[in-house]
Amino acid sequence: MTSLFILNGPNLNLLGTREPEIYGTTTLAEIDAACAAKARELGLSADFRQSNHEGVLVDWMHQAHKAKARAIIINAAAYTHTSIALLDAAKAITPPVIEVHLSDPHTREEFRHQSHIGQAAVACFKGKGLASYLEAIEAAAAL
């Protein structure tokens, strides 16, 4: 099976209870299970991870590169808007990076409109909750 790394940034471990009016009530574990099922349906495997630490996310991107992953799907959460390190990592590796967001950052506070990781991403899926992840997996399968 060809692998996908699905990386999740800070505070996403609190999904289900964190600002449900913005992020919904689906937990990260439920997103993980749905992503694994969608990946299997498409003949892929999904390595689903979450960290609140920027450097860990960078390390995982490097690991995906070494593992020759088919793609990296990343919800960098708040690091989307602040992390040049994630942008540099995305530019330095060979697996294509696909950005994903549960909400649509462009409909929220102005500081969320800038996506550093998006500058290196081949696609972005946003504003559809869990469906954003599933669409990103379909896009990765089509690469």
Active site annotation includes 53: no
Task: Looking at the structure, give the CATH architecture of the domain made up of residues 2-142.
Answer: 3-Layer(aba) Sandwich (3.40)
How high is the pLDDT of residue 106?
72
Q: Taking all residues of the chain, what is their mean pLDDT, rounded to a whole number?
A: 93
CB neighbours of residue 139 within 10 Å: 18
- CA 124 – CA 136 distance, rounded (Å): 8
pLDDT of residue 90: 98
pLDDT profile of the chain (143 residues), mean per 10: 90 90 89 98 97 98 97 96 96 97 79 83 95 98 94
Q: Which of 66, 67, 120, 46 is nearest to 89 (CA)?
A: 120
pTM above 0.95, yes or no: no
Choosing from 23, 79, 116, 133, which is the catalytic residue?
A: 23
Kindly name the residue from 62, 65, 79, 101 that is annotated as catalytic.
101
Q: Where are the domains of the chain?
A: 2-142
Helix, strand or coil, per DSSP, at residue 137: helix
